[in-house]
């Protein structure tokens, strides 16, 4: 672990193994930290905050620029480690490292743009001055599906704002986190500003984040169920909270769109990271006259996808993260088929050609999906594309919004008026219009409803780590 500028073991002395989900091999170990380790890290962050919060924006920016440079120098090594630890194909891992580094660069620049303001006062002898100050120590929890970029997306704005941070990475991907904290260390970020606590059981660390009054903000990316628990606990001390939670993204293909072009886009984003992305389309709505053409093109593309170890050339489908993820996907597919869905292709676990030791599920296309099926209501987080026909714009908007999630959504249409209408009526924090990648470090990322609170990235991303302070001056 990395606490107060030093690498060390857990106080218990325990370690836990880290596995490659493609073949089950042990690839390393990480310290198995707990509540006491988290408390030490919070204390270190609190002590460091006293000095770090007083540094200039230009000083903080300099550290982030240096971290960006080092991360780019290590891009290939980081990507290869990610493929071994998380499973995604190497090309996708390289893209993620670049995306993660982009947050360091963006917030290195944004640190210098935390502006205050003066406000006209009602009295001639009065002046109002507003400034923005760092909220304090941040407790951060990051997921396994994007084990590098989700770290920089939280750490970069936090330290750019003048906060200090304690981060607990996902238990499935601690090795990637360790390497990113080596980047921060080598960039010269002062002791205690960034701290890393790894743990096999996330509960004790999370409980310390919630209960310790030294933590003034929680930021979490993960499941809605866990996010609600953290939010409920944080309310006891009125801690600031940012939550990026689950999604159930609709992908809407209207009759004026090119069905081949739409199917190409839908399959690319659906099977991104083997479907293990919170912005992955979960319900693909296709206007009825295009269903046959859409399915034909989608099936053609799926059948050309190659599953396997992400280190191998040509592989585009990696393993699922573990047995529970595999079982969930199988359960959803079996439920849909038992209730009348049609299996176009895929639909089974892959065990041939050396895949039996990993958690591979065939990229799958289902048609005839109805609202009584699990896959219509539950987030899949796997390589299954369910297609649902619709007839009218009003009908599809009602179906798309019929979920307690509200993170990402997608529209394919060539009608600009329709694009604007649907963009405004979809109750989702992100809408891609003929665009399957509506994200960037410069853009705000986050959801509505039970998909979360707050935004990451963009100028909104640094605002999440700032308090607003008003000064009222009498000049008599």
Q: HEC states along 148-201?
A: CHHHHHHHHHHHHHCCEEEEECCCCCHHHHHHHHHHHHHCCCCCCCEEECCCCC
Q: Same structural domain for residues 217 and 89?
A: yes
> Catalytic residue among 278, 297, 393, 464, which?
278
Within a domain: 290: yes
Closest CA to 209 of 139, 154, 135: 139
Q: If you average pLDDT over residues 89-98, what whole number do you get?
A: 98
pLDDT digits (tens, 9 = 90+) for 352-380: 999 999 999 999 999 999 999 999 999 99
pLDDT digits (tens, 9 = 90+) for 294-351: 999 999 999 999 999 999 999 999 999 999 999 999 999 999 999 999 999 999 999 9
Q: Same structural domain for residues 357 and 423?
A: yes
Q: Same structural domain for residues 241 and 359?
A: no
pLDDT at 273: 97
Read off the pLDDT band of 11 (50, 70, 90): very high
Task: Classify strands 430-433 and 126-134 as parallel, antiparallel or unpaired.
Answer: unpaired
Within a domain: 306: yes
Within a domain: 441: no
Q: Same structural domain for residues 21 and 85?
A: yes
pLDDT at 82: 98
Q: Same structural domain for residues 19 and 152?
A: yes
Kindly report the number of other CB atoms within 10 A of residue 22's CB atom.
26
Q: If you average pLDDT over residues 108-119, what whole number do you get?
A: 97
Within a domain: 302: yes
As separate numbers, helices (DSSP H) first and strands (DSSP E) second, the chain gives 15, 20
pLDDT at 329: 98
Share of the chain above pLDDT 90, in %: 100
Read off the pLDDT band of 234 (50, 70, 90): very high
pLDDT digits (tens, 9 = 90+) for 191-204: 999 999 999 999 99
> Residue 256, SS3?
coil
Q: Same structural domain for residues 66 and 193?
A: yes
Share of the chain above pLDDT 70, in %: 100
pLDDT digits (tens, 9 = 90+) for 406-461: 999 999 999 999 999 999 999 999 999 999 999 999 999 999 999 999 999 999 99
> CA 205, 210, 214, 219: dihedral to nearest 10 degrees?
80
pLDDT at 366: 98
pLDDT digits (tens, 9 = 90+) for 126-136: 999 999 999 99
Element (H, E) at 330: helix 323-338
Read off the pLDDT band of 160 (50, 70, 90): very high
pLDDT at 301: 97
Within a domain: 440: no
| Gap between the Cα atoms of 109 and 105, Å rounded | 7
> Catalytic residue among 85, 96, 244, 464, which?
244
DSSP string over 109-146? HHGGG---EEE--SSTTEEEEEEEEE--EEEEE--SSS
User: Exposed, middle or buried, 254 (CB in 10 Å: 0-12/13-18/19+)?
Assistant: buried
Q: Same structural domain for residues 154 and 274?
A: no
Q: If you average pLDDT over residues 146-170, what whole number do you get?
A: 98
Q: If you average pLDDT over residues 154-176, what whole number do you get?
A: 98
Give the count of domains, the chain.
Answer: 2
Report the chain's mean pLDDT, rounded to a whole number: 97
Read off the pLDDT band of 142 (50, 70, 90): very high
- The dihedral built from the CA positions of residue 245, 31, 321 and 272, taken in this order, carries a sign that is positive
163 tagged catalytic: no
Q: Same structural domain for residues 363 and 425?
A: yes
278 tagged catalytic: yes
CATH code at 54? 3.40.605.10
pLDDT at 454: 97
Q: Same structural domain for residues 146 and 276?
A: no
| Structural domain for 256, as ranges | 249-433
pLDDT digits (tens, 9 = 90+) for 294-303: 999 999 999 9
């Amino acid at each position: 672990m990395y606490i107060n500028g030093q690498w060390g073991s857990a106080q218990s002395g325990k370690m836990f193994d880290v596995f490659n989900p493609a073949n089950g091999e042990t690839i390393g170990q990480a310290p198995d930290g707990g509540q006491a380790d988290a408390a030490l890290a919070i204390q270190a962050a609190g002590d460091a905050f006293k000095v770090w919060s007083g540094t200039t924006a230009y000083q903080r920016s300099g550290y982030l620029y240096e971290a960006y440079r080092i991360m780019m120098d290590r891009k290939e090594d980081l990507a290869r480690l990610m493929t071994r630890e998380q499973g995604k194909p190497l090309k996708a891992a390289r893209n993620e490292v670049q995306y993660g580094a982009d947050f360091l660069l963006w917030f290195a620049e944004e640190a210098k743009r935390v502006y205050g303001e003066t406000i006209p006062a009602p009295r001639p002898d009065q002046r109002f001055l507003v400034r923005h100050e760092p909220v304090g120590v941040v407790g951060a929890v990051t997921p396994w599906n994007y084990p590098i970029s989700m770290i920089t997306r939280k750490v970069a704005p936090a330290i750019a704002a003048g906060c200090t941070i304690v981060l607990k990475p996902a238990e499935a991907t601690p090795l990637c986190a360790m390497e990113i904290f080596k980047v921060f260390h080598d960039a010269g970020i002062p002791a205690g500003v960034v701290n890393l606590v790894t743990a096999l059981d996330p509960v004790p660390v999370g409980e310390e984040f919630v209960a310790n009054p030294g933590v003034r903000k929680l930021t979490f990316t993960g499941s809605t169920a866990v996010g609600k628990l953290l939010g409920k606990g944080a309310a006891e001390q009125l801690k600031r909270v940012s939550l990026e939670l689950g999604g159930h993204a609709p992908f809407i293909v209207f009759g004026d769109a090119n069905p081949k072009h739409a199917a190409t886009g839908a399959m690319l984003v659906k099977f991104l990271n083997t479907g293990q992305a919170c912005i992955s389309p979960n319900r693909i709505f296709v206007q009825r006259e295009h269903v046959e053409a859409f399915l034909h093109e989608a099936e053609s593309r799926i059948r050309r996808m190659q599953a396997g170890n992400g280190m191998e050339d040509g592989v585009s489908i990696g393993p699922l993260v573990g047995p529970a993820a595999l079982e969930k996907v199988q359960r959803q597919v079996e439920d849909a088929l038992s209730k009348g869905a049609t299996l176009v292709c895929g639909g089974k676990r892959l065990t041939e050609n050396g895949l039996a030791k990993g958690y591979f599920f065939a990229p799958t296309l289902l048609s005839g999906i109805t609202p009584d099926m699990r896959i219509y209501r539950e987030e899949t987080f796997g390589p299954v594309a369910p297609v649902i026909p619709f007839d009218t714009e009003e009908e599809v908007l009602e179906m798309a919004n019929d979920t307690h999630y509200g993170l990402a959504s997608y529209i394919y249409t060539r009608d600009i008026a329709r694009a604007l209408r649907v963009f405004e009526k979809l109750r989702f924090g992100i809408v891609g219009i003929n665009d399957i990648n509506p994200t960037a470090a410069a853009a705000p990322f986050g959801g509505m409803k039970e998909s979360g609170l707050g935004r990451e990235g963009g100028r909104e991303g640094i605002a999440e780590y700032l308090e607003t302070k008003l000064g009222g001056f009498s000049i008599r």
